[in-house]
Amino acid sequence: FFPSLVSHMPKVEVLGGDLRSLFTLVMTDPDVPGPSDPYLKEHLHWVVTDIPGTTNATFGREIVSYEMPRPTIGIHRFVFLLFKHKRRGQTLVFNSPSRDNFRTRKFAKDNDL
């Protein structure tokens, strides 16, 4: 797809769980700055937490604001991951000064997702 198609925040619906279930959505680009040498991978584009099941991301709490993808080299993949919280009242921690070199696995482990 073309970058113009992602200039606005995507609409992401959570079809699983129920209103008591909470989810966290993470959007990354593993191909920054380019697919042949992605030395800045992963680049973090968006994090929304506390999304109730059966709703969409607008019902959650945005802890990293949406950043429109701007690929400059080659074709990029954009990855959306949805994590179900293990317990209600779970507080997520994100304190990275940069969106580059984000590690989804570390974020999930650090936040018990």
Q: Which CATH number covers residue 57?
A: 3.90.280.10
Q: Which residues touch 91 (CB under 8 Å, ≥6 apart)?
A: none
Segment 69-97 mean pLDDT: 86
- Model pLDDT for residues 28-78, shown as the tens digit of each residue: 999 887 778 878 789 999 999 999 999 999 999 999 999 988 877 788 888
Q: How far apart are CA 43 and CA 89, in angstroms?
A: 27
Q: Tell which wins on pLDDT, 79 or 70.
A: 79
The pTM assigned to this predicted structure is: 0.88
Q: In the chain, how many domains are there?
A: 1
Residue 33's domain comprises 3-110
What are the DSSP calls for 47-94, one per residue?
A: EEEEEETTSBGGGSEEEE--------SS----EEEEEE-SSTTPPP--
